[in-house]
Chains A and B, each alone.
Chain A
């Protein structure tokens, strides 16, 4: 039987970086084939080449045994390759039907093509068990359904090979299982699926074969049934890693953060946050779990003073802040609260700045000016940065290097170093390991546990449930801007938290 996809000797360089170094990949027809690897391992580059976003520098691709040179995504769609991107490519104010036919309208007269598409799609969704209301506005649909729209869109274009790039990042555990059910149904109909992910649990649950990538190279091809998560993790990182829980019990201190009845309204009818009340103690990590976009980001920004709540009170130690008298980030900082923001690239650092400049962002006043208060001396910026880089093992340890040239993990370590160097009594941290390699993840987690042990109160927001569960003393689950429940570490389990994330109490 010919392979559905057969790539051999694929090379792709971006400037000095070799993203793909002689990659061979064979995917059996009708297989669910996983590709795992850390951030920057070259997975996305490889599938982008397959989908026609990039052209390989060298190497050949065969689709179903036929040599294939494509240049654009349009060529790939014509060859039966469909892709569901990590960030959906949908027009929010179009209906499902309009989104699906976009680019494939067929007739000049829109109503005619809509009728035809409606007919085809109803048979498609029956065939694969993909139920979506074709007339719903995409913007109103939950993310899991938007993802189905993306899959339908690919199938409508006759995709026989479906690429899914990190499809579960936005799903609850239950929704993830539903997605895998859909994938199995597709497989039964002979669709070949390429699943790109960094989550080993999902590889084990969903795939037949798995390919492991590391540093731009293909490391191993394995039958999923013959492997274990530990083996995959070791292959991904190149050395044994501990996947077990780092959490251990610690001594809780006094309550130092208290949030009461916090609300945030966008319009008269829409509440982004309602009735948020909780406390956090010294020496405790409170994990906030939830599918992305359920109010966690807004809550974190309110706690950091970046946005003002519509109503409610927050207190740090003995300092009270209420909605009528909101605090700004500088004020919050002066209360001993540090903040590692969720979107590192937009907020946490200024990408074109040097590491030395970023190491002072928000703490410019603490850097000696050289000549006086208004000045900022490059020497002291560099010295400060060099110290932080050494303490947090940031590589390369070059304060003059542009921040955009550091890997995600090292950028995050720099942000963490900056915030922790202020020895805060409260740390707000969002997505601490997004886009961060496994080595750095271990390091960052260890830092958080150490800080907690020293008596810092940590509020941790993450969409990675594994991360929340392995670090938090208590887990607060949010859905649609409300607190769905608080779970103690001892009694936490994925199923219950997953239901709370989905809004089922």
Chain B
């Protein structure tokens, strides 16, 4: 039989396990329930939403709201515009960012550390402090309400973060590998493209996801810089939120369409993303 001390210990262990698992279950419910609730909302008819008591498990599921939303030309176009903008922004950030990050990671030049440090400040700068002049500049360039206008603004906004991530990534590639390539006659750019980039490609993929996600999710710049012709998906959804008449079923359907694809990608690549996120924040 157990002695008193041992029993006490066992009880403590049991209590601790119980506490740990109940906290975890609470956390999982807290995270997932709102999104699941939105999915359920999107699968019901608008009128059925206003029953009392609210149907916890809806009796009749329907794709009507999705059909309705996907027939809305403005919304479908906004998805298309958002895709173009976020992919091009990411491409620009990765290209410029790779070159710049390589320089910061591997080359010696004056003010290197200052530059590296200012990247973080640049990223944290409140967008509102640049938005009015940006609007004026982009209008002067004749790029208001065009893809390019939004892409340029978002690229500048995202570039510091992308460079910050890539610099950390490139630094973690062993210097010897690059030296070996240089001895074998590679130029610096070749060693970048043939040694560093292939090795750090998983990290670059994660950085790309960050950039796509951030530019896809951004609201303020998108709203101000694209008004009529180029309405991106976030402002398009925000336009549906009016003070008097909100169609929650359709709004939810649109929100699911706008968020689910990227969410799935993030969940699939979770291991690398968690690594990238936490290293970026901690390094």
Answer yes or no: do A and B interact.
no
Write the residues of chain B forming the contact surface with A, with a CB cutoff of 8 angstroms: none
Residues of chain A whose beta carbon lies under 8 Å from any beta carbon of chain B: none
